[in-house]
Amino acid sequence: MIEIKRLDSDEVLLTVSADTLSGADLREADLSHADLANADLRNTDLSYADLSYANLENAQLQSAQLVGAHLAHAKMNHADLTGAKLSEGTQATGAILSNAELLHVKFIGADLRYVDLHDADLAEADLSNAFLQQANLQQANLKSAKLCSAMFVDANLTDCDLRSTNLCNAHFNRANLMKANLTEAFSNVPDVSSKVTLVGANLTQAKLVNTNFSNAVLKEANFYRADLRDANLSKAMLGGAHLRRANVAGTDFSGVELGGVVMDFTNFSQAKNANIPSYKRNLR
């Protein structure tokens, strides 16, 4: 028999008649403020459970079911959620992890579609191969996170901290990255197969200083007033992109076709290797 107790007292929140919580059915359980640090919750069904303010640090949650779970303000540092399911692909079923502590957490291959992660701390988290379509990561901290092959299609990353993130083969098509900080983010170049894709992404006023987008697919992306100083855009695909009023001082445009790029009121005088068509030169 296992007793799940409250963090700040000996109050028993739930008694489970088993020798382990792994694989247990804890659907809709009220576990707010529960002490589940280091717990073995592999394959456990926590769908729609209330885990707000719970301590799940170092918990084993591989392949756990967390659809619709309430994890706001939960402490989940170093937890392993590899293959966990936190959504059924609709807004109503996405788990809530707003303001959660998720440092070094493993979300490898996890289903995070429509999940609410706004203001969550995901520094150095591993989101490789995770599904984050339509997820809300507004003002989240993803500094130095691993995002290889993660899907952020249509996600909200406004004001998100993505400094020094590994973006290899990540997909941000139509994502909102307005005012996001991608300083020194990179995509494992020169491996062309690991290029990052941001087709139609909104990067208005984003910080992209020293960002390595070599070979990236940036078609129709909006870089209005973005800070691209010293960024590497060599061989990037920029057809239909908007660079209006962007700061491109020191930006490397080697091998970039700029004929289809909107560059009104952008000063290319300090850009590197920018082959600007003659009919566009009066727009610098």
At residue 284, the pLDDT reads 47
Strand partners, 13: none
Contact indicator for 170, 147 with CB cutoff of 8 Å: yes
At residue 191, the pLDDT reads 58
- The alpha carbon of 177 is separated from its chain's Cα centroid by a whole number of angstroms, namely 10
Residue with the two structure tokens 């076709």: 257
Give the mean pLDDT per block of 10 residues along the chain (284 residues). 93 94 98 98 98 98 98 98 97 97 98 98 98 98 97 98 96 98 83 82 98 96 98 96 97 95 92 84 54
Strand partners, 262: 242
- What count of other Cβ atoms lies within 10 Å of the Cβ of residue 46? 30
According to DSSP, residue 70 is labeled B
State how far the Cα of 111 lies from the Cα of 109, in Å rounded to an integer.
7
Distances (CA, A) of 198 to 85, 175, 225, 227, 277: 25, 8, 17, 16, 24
DSSP class per residue in 73-118? T-B-TT-B-TT-B--SSSGGG--B-TT-B-TT-B-TT-B-TT-B-T
The Cβ-side half-sphere exposure at 43, using a 13 Å CA radius, reads 4
At residue 203, the pLDDT reads 98
At residue 280, the pLDDT reads 66
Q: Which of 117, 204, 208, 228 is nearest to 167 (CA)?
A: 208
At residue 187, the pLDDT reads 81
What token pair was written down for 241? 């992109």
For 37, residues 6+ apart whose C-beta sits below 8 A from its C-beta are 55, 56, 57, 58, 59
Q: Which of 186, 202, 183 is nearest to 194 (CA)?
A: 186
* Coil, strand or helix at 170: coil
Task: State the maximum Cα–Cα separation within the chain, in Å, rounded to a whole number.
Answer: 78
pTM: 0.94
Contact indicator for 58, 35 with CB cutoff of 8 Å: no
Contact indicator for 243, 213 with CB cutoff of 8 Å: no
